[in-house]
Each structure stands twice: as C-alpha cells, then as structure tokens.
Chain A
Amino acid sequence: MDSHKPFLDVSNNRVWFNIPGPGVWQRKKQILKAVDDVSFQLREAETLGVVGESGCGKSTLVRGILGLETITEGSVKLNGEELTTLDKNTLRLKRRDMQIIFQDPLASLDPRMTVSEIISEPLQVFQPSLSKEDRKQKVQQIMQRVGLLPNQINRYPHEFSGGQAQRIGIARALILKPKLLVCDEPVSALDVSIQAQIINLLMDLQQEMGLSMIFIAHDLSVVKHISHRVMVMYMGKVVEMASRDELFRHPRHPYTKALMESIPIPDPAIERAKRGAPLTGDLPSPMDPPSGCNFRTRCPKAEDICAAETPEWNEKNPDHWVACHFPVI
C-alpha cells in the first residue's frame, strides 16, 4: 500500500461555524469547531474508516471535502489538484469524480422519480450527448451489478426496502465511475443481515473499480470488516490513525481503547470479565471545549499536562499516528 501516491490529500482542515448566541439584543457570536485541524491522506483503491461518537465531526469533515460545507481553513487536494479554491462551477464538474452514499437511503432518493430516472440523472447532466438507448443500457448494467432486478426499473423509491433503496443509491453514485466514494454511515439505517450484503457489495465494487473510499460509521465491527486504515475522531479532532489490524490489536489512544472495549462480545462470561472501566461522563459542549486535550475530562489517565498542553500528532509506530500525552504502550 505504501508505494501508492496519496490520491486525496487533506491537510489542516478546519470547518468552523458561527453560532449566534442567546439573547435578541446582544448577540455574541460563538464559534463551533466542528472539524479542527484534521489532516490525512487517502491512497488509491484504499478504504479509510472514520469512527467516532455522534457529533464528533465525521460527516462535517467529508462534507467539507466534497465542498458541501465551506472550509474555514486548510486544503483538500484530489490527485494533486486543490479543491478549496475552485469556483462553484468547476467544483460541480469535479464532483463527477467524487460521489457520496447517504445514511438514509430513502430520504436521498427523489420520491417523484423512478429508479431509472434517479440512476440516470448524473448521466443526463455530465453526458448529455448519450443516446437514450445507451443511457438505458448503462442504467441496466449498473442495476444488475448492484443486485437490482431489471423489472424494477420503472418503480418508485417508496416501493423498495431500505437495503434495496441503498443499492439504488450505490448505483447512482457509481454510474459515472467516480474515483472517490464517500459513504456517510451507509449501513447504520439497515438491518444487520442487509448490512452485510451492502458491505460485501461495496467491497466487491471497490476492487472492481479501484475506488478510493472514505467509510464513516459508528459501528466498529463494520469498520473493521471494510477498512484498510482507520481514523478515530473525537470532538472535531483526529486522535488516532493506523492500519486496521494495528489499530484493533494495539489501540494507543485511551479513547480508541475505550471504544474497542465497548464492542459487545456475544459471550456473557467474557463480556463481564472485560478489563478496563467504561467511559464515564458525557461529551463536553463543543461550544466550550476543554483546554489542552479535548478528551481529558473523560480520560482515565489524564494528568495536569493534559489540561495545559494540546497533545501533538505523533507517529508512535510506523504509520501509526496518535495524539496523546500518555499513549498506551
């Protein structure tokens, strides 16, 4: 993997929102740092898993990359080309290389369009010269590839189950043969048995098409199955990043470790004998984050230095990065 050049290069990415404060007359602007100083590289044909609690900035990060949120600071390079400085229209055309699959499959499909209209919409915009027959043929091909039946072509989204609807979403995202596919919790709205089908489909498609994927999830077992590398986020910051096997075997950051231990094991004896205390406390308010290390208020190993200094982003092992003053050995 290391021989691959970075396909997507995100550096010092910040997405900050101005939030109007309470009160009508004296509105004090507050800043919500949804994504704060995030850097990572994605290689070609690689899947990067992104995990973290709700509200940790996972979705905002990828929306920033796709240009759906305004990036306050930082750079996003796709194949060496800077995206943040592009004007709207150029970025719009660039998006044929970057597609997204949404969390709620039904909400992301236009209820008034048939399956064929939904899947062929990108073709109509980006390849308007394509004849009707060619377009139909392409739609049928991709439908077959993602496991939809040919006679479903004229149906409406509400006639499909969640898993089938997600297949439609995948077909729409892949019909232009993009290079980057962002999956924003694509399976968390689905039944477990359907989850496996969709994940296996995504993995097959990735191999076939050489896709680079960013896969967001809060379910660690899903991420473990599909990712090559995993990035752990906490309150807008990346706390740890490593290859999948390394991260799951040797989590270095206390937060990652706590996450790993929160995976339920289907054996009560082991489950009860789990070492390590579960995380206590709630996520601090993102409007008023703790000083120093964001995680110190819930960290079992926190000391004075954690409040005073923000931990640096260090490569503790080859290709294993972590931001912590006291990483687990």
Chain B
Amino acid sequence: MKKISPSEVFADLTPRQEVWYKLRSNRSAMMALCVLLLLITAAVLAPLIVSHDPYEQLTDTLLAPPYPADGNRPGFLLGTDDLGRDIFSRLLYGARYSLFLGFAIVLFSLVSGVMIGSIAGIKRGLTETLILRLMDIMLAVPTILLAIVIVAILGASLVNAALAVSVVLLPHFVRITRAAVISEMSKEYVLASQLDGSKGWRLFFRTILPNISAPLIVQATLSFSNAILDIAALGFLGLGAQPPIPEWGSLLSSSRELIEVAPWTVTLPGLAILITVLASNLLGDGLRDALDPKVDA
C-alpha cells in the first residue's frame, strides 16, 4: 500500500497555505488564536458591548457580586467594585490598554533588538563586544527592578512604564538575533545568494531574516505575555497606569484589600491576565511549528 508522505499532501499548496494548514491542525494553537481574536475584537468594540461607562460610579451598586451569585444586580454581568463601577466594562477597557501596550512593547523591542543584534552579528569585533556586554549588564539586573529604576527616572506614567518594559525585554532579542545571524551567515546558501549578486539590505531581508524568524517569533510571543505581565506588575506597584485608568494590573492592586470581602474584584482581572498570557504562549508554540518547514504536520 502506498503511503502518502506529507510533502505530497503539500505539493499543490503555496507556502502560505502550507503554514495555515499546519497551524489549523494544531488544536491548542487554534483555540489560543480564537481566544486572542475574541479578546481583540471585544477590546476594539468595547464601547458597543458594555452597558456602563467604566468610570461611572454607581453608589447604589457597591460591590455587587457577579452573575450567578446571590445579590447580583441585573446588567452587571461580572459585578461591581468598591466604587460601584461595572467590572465587565473596566476589564474590556483594560484589555484595550493591556493588548495594545503588549503589541507596542513587543514591536518596539523586536525592531530595535533585531537591528542592534544584526549589527553585532554582521560587524563583529569591538562593536559586537560593546553591544553584548551592555546587554549582559541589562540582563544581570532583575527585570522588574530595572523597569522600576527606569520608571523612577522618567516618572510614573503608562507611557514611561511601556518604554521601561520594552527596554527590559530588549536584550533577549539582541542576543537571539546576533546568535542566529552569525550561524546563518556561515552557511553555504548565504554565500550562494551573495554569489547571485545579493548584498546589503536585500541579502539581510530576503535571505537571512526569514531564516532567523522562527526563534524571533517564539521570543516575540513570549515577550508579549511578559510585557502584559510586567505592565500589570508596574501598574500593581503604582508605577504604571494611574487610577482611574482600568489597566489590569492597577485593577488588581486597587482591589487587593478586598480579596476577602469581594474576591471577584481581584480574581477577574487576574483571570484576564492569565488567559491572555496563556493564549499568546500557546499560539507562539503553534506558530513556531507551523513556520518550520522541517516539521511536518
């Protein structure tokens, strides 16, 4: 009996279709993708979805519990906090901050990390040593401490916190890019491409970058969840989003003392963070497998 090899299945597919095919067959990645898409849609459409203004304080509905529990007030699906604000609205508006900041931070770290890392990998010599030692110093300081230092210098605000987190995440991208660039540059196909006349940017973007994208994509998704976590941590410490901004981390910290009275006020933002982080990690894993041409579905 003839066994059909995966490459025969893929024979008539374009490369992009093939990646999609492989990703689709990965159940956890697909679920993660759905969750993330749902989150993003909900965050974008938040004003249309919520029934209450996230900043509106309704003094007659203080600490209402979420839906199935006794004492739930109609219209407040996830209950209210100690100032009578609708938690569902606040979480959805918080998703806007967390997701957008996550993307922005990762994009900033990724682009600057790839640039610095490839300069180190291509130039070598003294430039490389200086860049790497600087990154080593940054890595030697605990990330949240370094972020706190940067925020302390720049002043506590959401933008400064985002900047601090992207600087903290930078060394990983630099090191990964540098190592990958060096190992790819020594390979014969890069030489072949140079012989075919490629040089400079074309060589870098067409030949080298696609081949180092796999570890970068994985790192980017890990960093996305790290960024959300770090921003939340800074918010929790009062160094990021300032009240009354409904950022998830500051939601956690402002309701911290209510954990015994109204556990949902703490649990729900925590769950939101957990779900987002888990989904982005699972999607990252799935993407890594799908993008690797050597892994057959």
Contacts and interface: CB of A to CB of B under 8 A. Distances in A.
Contact of A108 (B192, B206, B213): B192
A311 to B, nearest CB: 35
B272 to A, nearest CB: 36
B14 A121 contact: no
A321 interface: no
17 contacts: A68-B191, A93-B197, A96-B197, A99-B195, A100-B195, A108-B189, A108-B191, A108-B192, A109-B192, A111-B189, A111-B211, A111-B293, A113-B210, A122-B196, A125-B196, A154-B15, A155-B10
B188 A155 contact: no
A121 B211 contact: no
Given A122-B197, A156-B15, A107 B294 contact: no
A306 interface: no
Contacts of A169: 192
A122 B196 CA distance: 5
Given A107-B189, A111-B293, A112-B211, A151 B11 contact: yes
Contacts of B189: 107-111
A151 B187 CA distance: 28
A239 to B, nearest CB: 29
Nearest to A151: B11
B124 interface: no
Given A108-B189, A155-B7, A66 B293 contact: no
A121 B206 CA distance: 10
Contacts of B195: 66, 68, 95, 99-100
A92 B192 contact: no
A157 to B, nearest CB: 8
Contacts of B191: 68, 108
Contact of B12 (A99, A114, A151, A156): A151
A113 B211 CA distance: 9
Nearest to A92: B197
Interface string B276-297: 0000000000000000011000
B193 interface: yes
Interface string B167-203: 0000000000000000000011101110111110010
Contacts of B12: 151
Closest 9 CB pairs of A and B: A125-B197, A112-B210, A122-B196, A159-B7, A108-B188, A107-B188, A110-B189, A156-B293, A108-B192
Contacts of B196: 95, 121-122, 125, 172
Contacts of A154: 13-15
Most chain A CB inside 10 Å of its own CB: which residue of B188, B191, B195, B210: B195
B199 A121 contact: no
Which range contains the number of B residues in contact with the other chain? 20 to 34
B26 interface: no
Contacts of B188: 102, 104, 107-108
A95 B293 CA distance: 30
Most chain A CB inside 10 Å of its own CB: which residue of B187, B193, B207: B193
Contacts of B207: 110
A114 B15 contact: yes
Nearest to A63: B191
A154 to B, nearest CB: 6
Most chain B CB inside 10 Å of its own CB: which residue of A95, A104, A114, A154: A154
A107 B197 contact: no
A96 B207 CA distance: 19
Interface in A107-165: 107-114, 121-122, 125-126, 151-152, 154-156, 158-159
Contacts of A93: 197
Nearest to B210: A112
B15 A92 contact: no
A149 to B, nearest CB: 10
A110 B265 CA distance: 53
Contacts of A107: 187-189
Given A95-B195, A110-B207, 16 more contacts: A92-B197, A100-B195, A107-B189, A108-B188, A108-B189, A108-B191, A110-B189, A110-B193, A111-B189, A112-B213, A121-B196, A121-B198, A122-B197, A151-B12, A156-B15, A159-B10
